[in-house]
Amino acid sequence: MKNDIKTTNMERIDKASLLDVDTSASIKFDDKIYHIKRHVDTTILIYDENDTVLYEPVLPILREINISNNLGIDLKHSSGHIKNTRVLGKDIINRINENI
């Protein structure tokens, strides 16, 4: 069952990565350059410096990027609910692009 879930997630990532990119930003993290991309279906994916999609959970990476780069983005909505990957990813992309 766990392998089925992993395969399904990989397939979903593969499909999303083929879609057009709506917005994106690049940032240095752990001495590497990463590209955060928001695709037209609002999926947030992270790519390495070679533009290869990472098959890792995105939300924890976004949280680490936010902290390590002192972006100051709140991880919660004003209502107190925790932001999901799509919302946090969009906020991070916008903040990075504001600072360029």
> Residue ranges per domain, the chain?
2-98
Per the listing, tokens 């390495």 go with 48
- Helices (H) and strands (E) counted in the chain, each on its own, are 3, 3
pLDDT score recorded for residue 14: 84
Question: How remote is the C-alpha of 37 from its chain's centroid?
Answer: 6
Cβ pair 38, 44 in contact under 8 A: yes
The whole-model pTM stands at: 0.86
Helix, strand, coil percentages (3-state) for the chain, rounded to 5, are 40, 25, 35
Q: What are the pLDDT tens digits along the chain (100 aa)?
A: 345 545 567 888 888 888 889 999 999 998 999 999 999 999 999 999 999 999 899 999 999 999 999 999 999 999 999 999 999 999 999 999 998 6
Half-sphere exposure of 74 (CA within 13 A, CB side): 7
Rounded CA-CA distance 25/89 in Å is: 10
- Which residue has 């976004």 as its token pair? 62
